């Protein structure tokens, strides 16, 4: 035999050895790909996601097919074939792990029908088992579909509510609802089970001072699967006329009042210009405070802490009313406009400030333009805010009773003279406190409608610690506003 023949035999032998090696590897892979459902896919609605994880660490993935079967009809969610980097490679396909995410019923592809259905997932690897077919893994998962929204029934009607006014809504919602409440434009008022009647829910609502009279007031319920029920209430909004005021801003005021706020607020830097400094505080910081106030709202407890009318600071004179439209004039030019969403009440310097009603202190600290501020939670989203205090005599988480002294009036924050700035908030929306100060309004519009019991007759409720999470409306963290004290 010649040299060429030897080379040929050697070559053939090497190829044979390699083919045998590949064959052993490919036949040796007897493990089908692993398949995991990462999301519960048991009760499925329009927004229920399907998330799948597949692994095959031997010969790799060859194909994936996902189908949904219902009433003997089959709908393909995906059919994928994965590449192999060569026929004669020992480890087969390129893909070892694969994640697939889809929201099957989000689009129009699969009809939304009642009744049970199955999810069928088939994966295959690059093994040569089963006459080169590969190892299969087929997963069949039964699920039920839900495409009906929660059922709603409105139980109450209401006289027209003025802009800035408050009200109450009673309704029934089916038990599949995971969240429900009242939507007025961008404002949302969560509903709660009625504390004394287990056949209904209720929600306090507040019409924002600037809501259009055509703004619908809607009851909204969601089931967490993407089904939403909406019902427009017959509640109407009455327009109000708010006052307009001009406020002159001097360099002296900026130096004396705005600069100390900047000095105590790390987020706001000295702009090096009096007007810019004024705007950074009056505009930017004010907007940040409103966001902070929304997070305080989430700490409200589902319990009635208050009783009877709220009280206005005794002997006080009203210096500014709710929703006064303020134009700020600096060097004879209007440089900013803001709406004053509270009452400015003045008596004498360092006058003792009383709690407007009973509740739990959820905030007692320096709060930018509001200066030293106390916020009391009265329950079910209702909170009162006391600003510009010279001293604070209560601590966070402390219980206060109606008319208890909580501090003294002052000029901290953005205040020209000694006064109390008082705001009343419903789920973070500023409301006109005049209604809540009115004994007749409290009785006929709120207490009688609720069947509100005197405190000693109210059923004991489990009180949550103020800063603990509770349901979807209660975030776990008590975020403090910028402060250096
Ligand atoms: Zn004020």
- Chain segment 107-138, per-residue pLDDT in tens: 888 888 888 999 999 999 888 787 778 888 99
Do 60 and 188 share a domain, yes or no? Answer: no
Q: In the prediction, which pLDDT does 447 show?
A: 92
Residue 309 lies inside a defined structural domain of this protein? yes
Q: In the prediction, which pLDDT does 416 show?
A: 87
Q: In the prediction, which pLDDT does 460 show?
A: 62
Q: What are the residue ranges in the chain where pLDDT is below 70? A: 1, 86-87, 459-485
CA–CA distance, 240 with 136 (Å, rounded to integer): 71
Residue 163 lies inside a defined structural domain of this protein? yes
Residue 471 lies inside a defined structural domain of this protein? no
Beta strands in 83-186 (DSSP E): 97-102, 116-125, 136-145, 152-154, 161-162, 166-173, 179-184
Q: In the prediction, which pLDDT does 466 show?
A: 43
Half-sphere exposure of 69 (CA within 13 A, CB side): 10
Residue 462 lies inside a defined structural domain of this protein? no
Q: What is the CA(345)–ligand 1 centre distance, in A?
A: 8
Do 450 and 303 share a domain, yes or no? Answer: yes
Q: What is the CA(416)–ligand 1 centre distance, in A?
A: 10
Q: What is the CA(292)–ligand 1 centre distance, in A?
A: 17
Q: Which residue range is the domain that position 196 belongs to?
A: 152-238
The separation between the first and the last C-alpha atoms of the chain, rounded to the nearest angstrom, is: 99
Do 189 and 306 share a domain, yes or no? Answer: no
Q: What is the CA(278)–ligand 1 centre distance, in A?
A: 16
CA–CA distance, 349 with 415 (Å, rounded to integer): 13
Q: In the prediction, which pLDDT does 433 show?
A: 95
Q: In the prediction, which pLDDT does 182 show?
A: 97
Q: What is the CA(92)–ligand 1 centre distance, in A?
A: 74
Do 101 and 85 share a domain, yes or no? Answer: yes
Q: What is the CA(394)–ligand 1 centre distance, in A?
A: 21
Residue 317 lies inside a defined structural domain of this protein? yes
Residue 100 lies inside a defined structural domain of this protein? yes
Do 184 and 136 share a domain, yes or no? Answer: no
Place of tokens 């694969």: 98
Do 397 and 447 share a domain, yes or no? Answer: yes
Do 195 and 315 share a domain, yes or no? Answer: no
Q: In the prediction, which pLDDT does 1 show?
A: 64
State the DSSP code for 370: G
Q: What is the CA(436)–ligand 1 centre distance, in A?
A: 18
Split into its structural domains, the chain has a count of 3
Half-sphere exposure of 354 (CA within 13 A, CB side): 15
Do 117 and 185 share a domain, yes or no? Answer: no
Q: In the prediction, which pLDDT does 481 show?
A: 34
Domain boundary among 122, 145, 168: 145
CA–CA distance, 71 with 106 (Å, rounded to integer): 20
Do 297 and 227 share a domain, yes or no? Answer: no
Q: What is the CA(334)–ligand 1 centre distance, in A?
A: 19
Q: What is the CA(281)–ligand 1 centre distance, in A?
A: 14
Q: CATH number, domain at 261?
A: 2.70.70.10
User: What is the Cα gyration radius of the chain?
Assistant: 33
Q: In the prediction, which pLDDT does 128 show?
A: 79
Q: What is the CA(341)–ligand 1 centre distance, in A?
A: 7
- CA-wise closest residue to 184 among 157, 160, 153, 219: 219
Q: In the prediction, which pLDDT does 399 show?
A: 96
Residue 112 lies inside a defined structural domain of this protein? yes
Q: In the prediction, which pLDDT does 465 show?
A: 42
Q: What is the CA(421)–ligand 1 centre distance, in A?
A: 4
Bridge partners of 141? Answer: 119
Do 263 and 287 share a domain, yes or no? Answer: yes
Residue 466 lies inside a defined structural domain of this protein? no
């Amino acid at each position: 035999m010649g040299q060429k023949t030897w080379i040929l035999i050697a070559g053939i032998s090497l190829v044979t050895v390699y083919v045998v090696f590949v064959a052993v590897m490919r036949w040796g892979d007897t493990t089908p790909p692993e398949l995991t459902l990462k999301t519960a896919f048991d009760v499925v609605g329009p927004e229920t996601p399907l998330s799948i994880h597949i692994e095959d660490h031997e010969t790799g993935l060859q194909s994936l097919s996902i189908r949904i079967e219902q009433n003997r009809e089959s709908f393909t969610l995906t059919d994928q074939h994965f590449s192999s980097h060569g026929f004669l490679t020992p480890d087969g396909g390129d893909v070892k792990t694969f994640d697939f995410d889809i929201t099957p019923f989000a689009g129009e592809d699969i009809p939304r029908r009642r009744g049970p259905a199955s999810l069928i997932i088939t994966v295959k690897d690059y093994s040569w088992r089963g006459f080169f077919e590969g190892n299969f893994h087929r997963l069949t998962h039964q699920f039920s579909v839900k495409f009906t929204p929660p059922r709603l029934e409105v139980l109450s009607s209401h006289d027209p509510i003025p802009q800035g006014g408050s009200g109450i809504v009673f309704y029934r919602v089916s038990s599949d609802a995971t969240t429900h409440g009242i939507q007025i434009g961008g404002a949302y008022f969560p509903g709660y089970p009625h504390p004394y009647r287990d056949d209904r829910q209720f929600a306090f609502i507040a019409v924002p001072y600037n809501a259009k009279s055509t703004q619908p007031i809607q009851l909204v319920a969601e089931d967490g699967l993407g089904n939403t029920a909406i019902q427009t209430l017959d509640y109407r909004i009455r327009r109000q006329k708010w006052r307009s005021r001009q406020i002159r801003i001097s360099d002296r005021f900026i130096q004396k009042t705005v600069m100390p706020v900047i000095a105590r607020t790390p987020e706001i830097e000295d702009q090096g210009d009096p007007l810019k400094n004024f705007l950074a505080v009056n505009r930017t910081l004010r907007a940040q405070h409103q966001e902070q106030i929304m997070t305080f709202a989430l700490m409200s407890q589902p319990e009635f802490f208050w009783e009877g009318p709220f009280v206005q600071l005794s002997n006080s004179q009203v210096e500014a009313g709710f929703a006064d439209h303020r134009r700020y004039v600096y060097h004879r030019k209007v440089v900013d406009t803001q709406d004053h969403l509270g009452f400015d009440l003045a008596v004498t310097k360092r006058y003792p400030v009383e709690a407007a009603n009973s509740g739990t202190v959820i905030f007692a600290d320096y709060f930018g333009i509001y200066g030293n501020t106390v916020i009391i939670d009265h329950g079910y989203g209702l909170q009162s805010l006391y600003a510009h205090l010279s001293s604070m005599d209560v601590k966070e988480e402390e219980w206060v009773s109606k008319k208890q002294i909580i501090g003294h009036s002052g000029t901290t924050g953005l205040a020209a003279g000694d006064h109390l700035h008082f705001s009343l908030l419903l789920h973070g929306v500023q409301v006109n406190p005049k209604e809540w100060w009115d004994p007749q309004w409290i009785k006929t519009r709120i207490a009688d409608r609720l069947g509100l019991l005197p405190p000693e007759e109210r059923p004991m409720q489990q009180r949550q610690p103020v800063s603990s999470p509770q349901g979807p409306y209660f975030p776990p963290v008590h975020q403090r506003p910028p402060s250096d004290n």
